[in-house]
Structures are given as structure tokens and as C-alpha cells.
Amino acid sequence: MENYRLDRSAFSIQTYKQASNQRQYWLSCSPHERLAAAWYLICSAYNLNPNIEHRLDRTVFSIRKQLP
């Protein structure tokens, strides 16, 4: 997470048209850069460590047979 820092001076009040230009910026980035940014936001939202692999906790789910 040390790769990303919030630059508070970069924010300003914008119109909808100015804010829609963000799409062009993200389309100009490589898919790897976009996924890295998305992964960073997910880890920030759920307070996860982005440097380790997170596995699904399969003990929470149970398997049930479906009746024909």
C-alpha cells in the first residue's frame, strides 16, 4: 500500500463533463495498472493486506445434495 498516497491537493470541484474525462485516463492505462488500482481499492475498503494471497474460507459453506 506504500505505492499509493492520496494527494489532497489534486482534488477540486468539477462539472460532470470534466469528471467524465477520468474515463479517458483509465482507458489510457494498461489493464495491469487498472487491476492493480482496483485491487488497492478493494484492500483499502476491506482492510486487507494487498501483499498476501487471500483464500476463500470454505468452512463457512456447506455442501448439500440436490434431490432429483
Q: Which helix (H) or strand (E) holds 27?
A: helix 22-28
What whole-number distance in Å separates Cα of residue 44 and Cα of residue 47? 5
Residue whose entry in the numeric block shows the C-alpha cell 498476501: 52
Instruction: Say what the pTM is.
Output: 0.56
Instruction: Report the alpha-carbon distance of residue 31 to residue 51 in Å, rounded.
Output: 19
Q: What pLDDT does 46 receive?
A: 87
Q: What is the pLDDT of residue 31?
A: 95
- Residue range 5-36, pLDDT digits in tens: 766 776 777 788 777 777 888 889 999 999 98
In a domain, 52, yes or no: no
Residue-number span of the structural domain to which 37 is assigned: 14-46
Question: Residue 19: inside a domain, yes or no?
Answer: yes
CA–CA separation, 3 and 14 (whole Å): 26
Domain count, the chain: 1
Grid cell 478493494 in the structure block, residue: 42
25 within domain boundaries: yes
pLDDT digits (tens, 9 = 90+) for 41-59: 888 888 888 888 878 777 7
Would residue 60 count as lying in a domain? no
